[in-house]
Chains A and B, each alone.
Chain A
Amino acid sequence: MKISKKDVLHIANLAHISLEEKEVHQYRNDLEKILHSIEELREVETEHVKEFFNPLKEMAHLKTTSTETQNFEDRAQNSLSQELVLKNSPDAQYGQFKLKSIMEPESKP
């Protein structure tokens, strides 16, 4: 599997990671190597095999034990205070998370 520099930059952009030129080269090499070794999966015929996403659902079919999970009851509960939640924020003001402006201020006429 060949990976281009453009592919790496595209994936990095999707993943919100910026890369330096040197890193682009390194990750391109790494990804090619990894994808090459993963190619082995093509040997196996899986056309009619149903995907397996999570063990719980599958273990439930074994009927040896009930693996049914439960959901939260939908009711109001105590939660963390605003002050505590903001404590780890790199920047907070007026009881809110502070970040860079997303929209430019309207330019004056």
Chain B
Amino acid sequence: MDIFEAHQKLKAKEISPSELTRQCLDKALKSKNNSFISIVEDFAHQCALESEKRIQKNGPQTYLDGIPFSLKDLFITKGIRTTAGSMILANYIPPYDGYVSEKLKKAGGTLIGKTNCDEFGMGSTNENSYFGPVSNPLNRKFVPGGSSGGSAVSVLEGSSFYSMGTDTGGSIRLPANFCGLISLRPSYGRISRYGQIAHSSSLDQCAPLGKSVTDMACLLEALTEYDVRDATNVPLGTMSIAQDVHQTPPEHLKGKKIGVYAPFIDACKPLVKSSLEKALKHCEEAGAKIVTIDLRHLKYAISTYYIISTSEASSNLARFDGIHYGLRESDGQGLEQTYQKSRSRGFGNEVKRRILLGTYSLSAGYYDAYYKKACQMRRLIFDDFQSAFKSCDVIFSPVCASTAFPVDMSQKSPTEMYINDFYTVPIALAGLPGLALPYGKGENDLPTGFQLIGKPFGEKELLKIGRALELTY
């Protein structure tokens, strides 16, 4: 049952918010997947009761009214512990609500809990969390993907209807892909990031995950009111698109041009590749036209991304110093040692590695060779996309060359891990929206799928194409 269906049932009074909440809480509390860092039982019951009163009187006020959801633990929630999956924030209780929490509360949503994630969103397996790894309920020998792994698993196990995650370089699309779910990375600047713990400021985006394309539209509708508190939020106004997207007919695909860069598909594992080819054939049968595009600079996206994201992370994470909030190790000799010891103990291995790499890229003597070079590469990648969009409406791309990785993959060398983000980082660098859709099975009988990439701020068309495609399955 997706958001839209649950909404219809609530409207018809076939189910009640309390029933939905009880079902979700029950699953969350019994879950063996470690998908949650905090479960907020009492708060959830209270939200459900308020929804119930509203619905009995006037019916649901929004699509989200009375529907249980979860939030990645990178979103600041007033009075509810927010850890970023890190020891350094293990006991942090925010005194305010961030944009996402505030808006979903206002829309009548019922928060079930805060989901597990890779520390500060740094990872693609969800094995880099201070609170332990998240299990993939589809097969425990494989990871659920990261960094929003807890969010994906919470939806998969039925402990929430949808989840809000984040996507810096693929952190929402990869878990959706590995778990057979749907997610959207919106355009850079579309949703306010006020109260979203920063990882990399020119890349981070708040990103919904759910079970249908309509879910994505419902969430954009709830989360696109302009917010002056985020200076990168573009004042385009609320997108009232849920009905429009939901009612898109399959014929919408007729004549749409879908751009494909063949080397990308050829580089995938055999079963993933054959699924992607089937999906493309499917698009053609539905009336879309496949056009060849050239994205030659995208092969440099990983190197570009890891310089830029770590540089920005080294700066953003400088705020964790053990003084204002978070862990403090005070056995140091002076202030300097307090900083050093607090950070060394509070941050995990991957976070420290990225801080060190970023500090190196930005340090005197290396700036031109690394950071500046990466920013120049970023333009070439952006230009590739702009040229491609001259001949197509959306771009079709894999999300990952393989299905979910085996557990303990994070024990591998960092370069072996980073390469997994090959298909997800390019659009993050270019600021473009991407819709990850499941399609068939790949290696180890695990889900696979693809992403459709849209033009800047082209979410509406992207979702309409996605919805039309979903209807033809």
Interface residues of A (CB under 8 A from B): 7-8, 10-12, 14-19, 23, 27, 30-31, 33-38, 40-41, 44, 46, 49-56, 58-59, 62, 64-73, 80, 84-85, 87-91, 97, 99-102
Contacts and interface: CB of A to CB of B under 8 A. Distances in A.
B303 interface: yes
Given A15-B314, A31-B357, A46-B376, A40 B300 contact: yes
Contact of A89 (B96, B303, B323, B455): B323
A65 B318 contact: no
Interface stretch (B64-72, B145-153, B333-341): B333-341
Interface string B306-348: 1100000010001001111111101010111111110110010
B379 A51 contact: yes
Q: Which DSSP category, helix, strand, loop or mixed, fits chain A's interface? A: loop
A7 B418 CA distance: 23
Interface of B: 92-96, 187-189, 202, 228-229, 231-236, 297, 300, 302-304, 306-307, 314, 318, 321-328, 330, 332, 334-341, 343-344, 347, 352-353, 355-357, 359-360, 363, 370, 372-380, 382, 386, 413-415, 418, 430-431, 455-457
Nearest to B431: A55
Given A17-B340, A37-B415, A55 B202 contact: yes
27 contacts: A7-B360, A17-B343, A17-B344, A17-B355, A18-B340, A23-B352, A27-B356, A30-B414, A36-B415, A40-B303, A41-B377, A44-B300, A46-B380, A52-B375, A52-B379, A55-B430, A56-B189, A62-B386, A62-B456, A69-B189, A69-B232, A69-B233, A71-B231, A80-B95, A90-B326, A90-B330, A99-B335
A7 B324 CA distance: 30
A15 B316 CA distance: 11
A11 B446 CA distance: 41
A54 to B, nearest CB: 5
B372 to A, nearest CB: 6
B324 A89 contact: yes
A84 B337 CA distance: 27
